[in-house]
């Protein structure tokens, strides 16, 4: 059997560590120290400890080795995309299988990698200064139910490329598919020469296991994609947190816009995986002089128009008040347009992308991050009125917004006033996250509350400087 230099180094270090720590290692009848099933553990403490043991080996690996290992995760995703997509829809009851497959492929092919980790050097009369990037250690990671597989795969790639290992607390509603991703990822990575348990998770995630993860002394950094309560909880711990929070992206369509383009782009983007991405359009504001023409274009794009009464009726069934906030009911989140239509007595084809209809600007459909296949359209007087309405609807989350206009001055002002991490002009909001639909790198972690925006491996490393005084200057 051929053993690589990295694998030999892992073997030697593992033996030495086992000898040193023998008195604290629990063994089973076979003498194995691994309590998990390819990274899936019954106890969160065991999951973190296993990820930490793996980090002690992984931190010695080269950047090229990290690339080889994360490339195996990309390949695993492509090999199992249909299986993981079906599992996700079956378990979460949200989204469409074909869109889940596309999201998995996008995560596998467009997640940024080690190419972002370029060291910097300065040479001058005082010597040489060098900035390098080093990992934090074990990252405590929370993933959502809306796109559990792609988020986990994206985070595995960008966070392992940065040299870290990860312990996950998946959303309870997606625990089976996330456990499958963990197991497959570890199997592929070990075949590629990786240590065991570079990524781990707990089999039965709960709020209590999340608290254990956040508070564990061997977890150095938190990466959270979830609702406001989970984000607030993570940020309350005395450690660095990178958090992807809620969004309620508005769209403004003014009287100069190409209305056919606007309707086509919004339909493609807002209907993608039944609108469960936080970056997708959630409400549309249209200048009054072109309102009727825009509504006609939305129908031509294949969407089903509801009356104002039907929008109210569906809101009463699908939306609910939680404290001061309107939220989508669990049975309606991420559901096809025909499923929503059935709730108010309409029979539609499952191929209809969206339901849409007119509401006022204070309607629950506008205020809520509804995350389903129904989008409200609001009549505004002019650009200034639409700008004000968009700013209010976005709730100052600073997440995502878009505008359709041929006036570059208006487009500039809109993006300055909304001040979001992601903006699109004359395109669907999904294009703003790069990947298959846009330009630039892609990530499922859009860290608005903590300011990182669309994340890369650079967000998960420590920047360290070494200064060599009066030496190593060659010119």
Report the alpha-carbon distance of residue 100 to residue 91 in Å, rounded.
13
Report the alpha-carbon distance of residue 179 to residue 358 in Å, rounded.
42
> How many C-beta neighbours within 10 Å does residue 407 have?
15
Report the alpha-carbon distance of residue 385 to residue 276 in Å, rounded.
28
Please report where in the chains the tokens 């074990």 appear, as a residue.
Answer: 138
Dihedral of CA atoms 222, 225, 226, 227 in degrees, nearest 10, equals 90
Note the pLDDT of residue 11. 55
Report the alpha-carbon distance of residue 286 to residue 253 in Å, rounded.
5
> Is residue 32 predicted with pLDDT exceeding 90?
no
Note the pLDDT of residue 34. 57
Helix boundaries (H) for 219-274: 228-235, 259-270
* pLDDT higher at 317 or 24: 317
> Is residue 26 predicted with pLDDT exceeding 50?
no
Note the pLDDT of residue 119. 92
Above pLDDT 90, what percent of the chain?
Answer: 82
* pLDDT higher at 394 or 471: 394
Query: Phi and psi (nearest 5°) for 71?
Result: -60, -30
* pLDDT higher at 36 or 428: 428
**What confidence tier does 13 reach under pLDDT thresholds 50, 70, 90?**
low
**What confidence tier does 14 reach under pLDDT thresholds 50, 70, 90?**
low
Weakest-pLDDT range from 188-202, 386-400, 438-452: 438-452
* pLDDT higher at 32 or 419: 419
The chain-wide mean pLDDT, for the chain, equals 91
How far lies 137's CA from each of 166, 218, 242, in Å? Answer: 8, 8, 15
Note the pLDDT of residue 325. 77
**What confidence tier does 29 reach under pLDDT thresholds 50, 70, 90?**
very low
């Amino acid at each position: 059997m051929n053993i690589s230099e990295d694998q030999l180094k892992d073997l030697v270090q593992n033996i030495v560590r086992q000898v040193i720590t023998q008195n604290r290692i629990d063994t089973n009848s076979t003498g194995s120290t691994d309590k998990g099933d390819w990274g899936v553990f019954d106890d969160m403490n065991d999951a973190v400890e296993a990820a930490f043991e793996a980090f002690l080996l992984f931190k010695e690996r080269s950047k090229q080795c990290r690339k080889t290992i994360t490339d195996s995760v990309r390949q695993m995703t492509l090999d199992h995309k249909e299986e993981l997509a079906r599992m996700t829809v079956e378990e979460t009851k949200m989204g469409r299988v074909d869109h889940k497959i596309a999201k998995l492929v996008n995560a596998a092919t467009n997640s940024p990698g080690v190419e972002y980790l370029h060291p910097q050097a300065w040479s001058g009369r005082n010597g040489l200064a060098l900035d390098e990037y080093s990992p934090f250690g074990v990252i405590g990671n929370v993933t959502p139910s809306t796109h559990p597989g792609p988020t986990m795969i994206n985070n595995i790639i960008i966070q392992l490329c940065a040299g870290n290992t990860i312990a996950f607390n998946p959303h309870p509603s997606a625990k089976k598919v996330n456990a499958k991703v963990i197991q497959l990822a570890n199997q592929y990575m070990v075949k590629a020469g990786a240590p065991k348990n570079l990524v781990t998770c707990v089999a039965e995630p709960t709020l209590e296991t999340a608290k254990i993860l956040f508070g564990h002394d061997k977890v150095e950094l938190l990466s959270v994609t979830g609702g406001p309560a989970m984000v607030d909880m993570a940020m309350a711990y005395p450690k660095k947190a990178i958090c992807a929070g809620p969004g309620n992206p508005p769209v403004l369509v003014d009287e100069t816009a190409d209305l056919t383009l606007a309707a086509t782009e919004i339909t493609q983007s807002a209907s993608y995986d039944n609108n469960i991405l936080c970056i997708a359009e959630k409400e549309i504001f249209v200048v009054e002089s072109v309102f009727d023409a825009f509504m006609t274009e939305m129908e031509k794009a294949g969407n089903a128009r509801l009356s104002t009464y039907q929008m109210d009726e569906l809101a009463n069934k699908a939306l609910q008040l939680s404290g001061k906030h309107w939220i989508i009911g669990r049975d309606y989140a991420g559901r096809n347009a025909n499923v929503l239509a059935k709730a108010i007595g309409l029979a539609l084809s499952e191929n209809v992308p969206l339901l849409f209809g007119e509401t006022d600007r204070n309607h629950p459909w506008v205020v809520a991050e509804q995350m389903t296949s129904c989008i409200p359209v609001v009549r505004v007087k002019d650009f200034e009125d639409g700008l004000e309405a968009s700013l209010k609807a976005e709730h100052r989350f600073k997440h995502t917004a878009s505008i359709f206009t041929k006036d570059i001055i208006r487009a500039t002002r809109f993006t300055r006033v909304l001040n979001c991490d992601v903006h699109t002009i004359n395109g669907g909001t999904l294009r703003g996250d790069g990947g298959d639909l846009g330009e630039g790198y892609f990530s499922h972690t859009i860290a608005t509350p903590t300011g990182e925006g669309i994340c890369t491996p650079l967000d998960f490393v420590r920047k360290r400087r070494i200064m060599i005084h009066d030496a190593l200057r060659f010119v």
